[in-house]
Amino acid sequence: MKRIFFIILSLILLFNISFSMDFESANNLFYEARRDRDVNKITSLISELEKDSNLQKDSKFLTVLADAYLEYGHWGVSGKDKEKMYEKARSYAEKAISLDGKNGRAWYIAGAAIGRLAQYKGIIQSLFMLGDFDRYISKAIEILDDPLYKTFALLAMGMRYRDVPFPLYNYGKAEYYMKEALKYTPIYPNVYLELGYLYLKMNKKDLAKEMFQKVIDSPPHPWLLKTHEESVSLARQELSKLK
């Protein structure tokens, strides 16, 4: 009887070990969830990662979890829940950085989470957060070797210089960072969309029209299909206003 018990116990342990999630599997699940904006898939991933006993010791797993919270906050929840998700994204990204200071993706996520959190704060508090945003995103730009995340970081910095109130904005720098972003991921239509918004602020309507049309004409990035659909819809709206 004891032997049967130990055999069953061994099989259970073997099953759990065999089906524990490795980094590549977790990362691919995240990419799929973000591509399709699949709430069930991303919440399941978050749940599985948070149950992992090795989470707090693994910078890569913490980074995927932070990224999942960042995305889930963007399109998976509404209202005050967005702020909670972005706070979790920042917290997990900062833990990942504490374990591996060369984790460029985690530096980007921490900065992006701060940028989104600033939207929920008053103008004074948001400006105080700007220093942290600049530090994290600048470091991400410096050390990232993943082309897509390099694009994300450069675009985030471009939007910072476009959108932060006077006297901290700089349209020239905004344009520079956004054009740099295109060098790493030329088929990411969001860059053209944000350039279009920049040219509207600069009162360069012909260039704005050109950028919005590029959004519509560009092929979707294979890992960002829903993002592409949203960008195309927004670009069409802007073009209709400019006719």
Which residue ranges form the domains of the chain, and what is each CATH number?
22-145 (1.25.40.10), 147-243 (1.25.40.10)
Q: Tokens 């105080």 belong to which residue?
A: 128
Percent of the chain beyond pLDDT 90? 82
Task: Compute the distance between CA of residue 200 and CA of residue 208 in angstroms, rounded to an integer.
Answer: 6
Q: If you average pLDDT over every residue of the chain, what do you get?
A: 91
Of the candidates 97, 193, 182, the one whose C-alpha atom is nearest the C-alpha of residue 114 is 97
**pLDDT band, residue 10 (cuts 50/70/90):** very low
- Burial code (b: 16+ CB inside 10 Å, e: under 16) for 103-120 equals bbbbbbbbbbbbbbbbee
Q: Cβ contacts of residue 108 below 8 Å, gap of 6+? A: 136, 137, 140, 144, 149, 152, 153, 156
Cα dihedral angle (220, 225, 228, 229), rounded to 10 degrees?
120
Q: What is the pLDDT of residues 129-164, one digit of tens each?
A: 999 999 999 999 999 999 999 999 999 999 999 999
Summarised one tens digit per residue, pLDDT across range 188-210 is: 999 999 999 999 999 999 999 99
What's the pTM? Answer: 0.90
- Number of Cβ within 10 Å of residue 135's Cβ equals 14
Residue of 112, 25, 35, 98 lying closest to 62 (CA atoms): 98
- Coil, strand, or helix at residue 123? helix
